[in-house]
């Protein structure tokens, strides 16, 4: 992940994303550099428009916070279930009360 961050730092600084620059960023952060990973990253990034990727990530990120809004609906369902259980318990209690009342009558 730190390799990607290094490339994003270079991109935001408008520096060339090449093996030498990525190595410099990683080494300055005290990260041991794997030359194979650096070469693979540079090769992969040559075919990617980083600005477009960042734009799509921002659009996707703006949509993500909307998901928690669905949580209250599930809370409402939980409350409805609690209310239904409470009503069932009331019915059960009233049936028990009736049977105990009948038992007292017929002793």
Task: Give pLDDT tens digits for 44-77.
Answer: 888 888 888 888 877 776 555 555 555 556 666 7
What's the mean per-residue pLDDT of the chain?
Answer: 76
Prediction pTM value: 0.51
Residue of higher predicted confidence among 61 and 1:
1
Count of CB atoms situated within 10 Å of the CB of 6: 24
Q: Report the distance separating Cα 27 and Cα 46, nearest Å.
A: 22
CA atoms within 13 Å, Cβ hemisphere of 82: 6
Fold classification of 1-61 (topology level): Arc Repressor Mutant, subunit A (1.10.10)
Residue of higher predicted confidence among 30 and 64:
30
In this structure, what token pair is assigned to residue 43?
């090769």
Instruction: Say if CB 41 and CB 22 are below 8 A apart.
Output: yes
In this structure, what token pair is assigned to residue 105?
């009558």
User: Of 35-44, 60-69, 88-97, where does the model show the most confidence?
Assistant: 35-44
The predicted pLDDT at position 93 comes to: 47
Burial of 7 (0-12, 13-18, 19+ CB in 10 A): buried
Contacts of 8 (CB under 8 A, 6+ apart): 50
The predicted pLDDT at position 97 comes to: 57
């Amino acid at each position: 992940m730190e390799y990607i961050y290094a490339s994003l730092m270079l991109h935001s600084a408008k520096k060339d994303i090449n093996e030498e620059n990525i190595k410099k960023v990683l080494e300055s952060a005290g990260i041991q550099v794997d030359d194979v990973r650096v070469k693979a990253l540079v090769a992969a990034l040559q075919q990617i428009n980083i600005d477009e990727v960042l734009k799509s990530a921002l659009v996707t990120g703006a949509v993500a916070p909307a998901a928690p809004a669905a949580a209250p609906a599930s809370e409402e369902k939980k409350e409805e279930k609690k209310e239904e259980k409470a009503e069932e318990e009331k019915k059960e209690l009233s049936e028990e009360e009736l049977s105990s009342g009948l038992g007292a009558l017929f002793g």
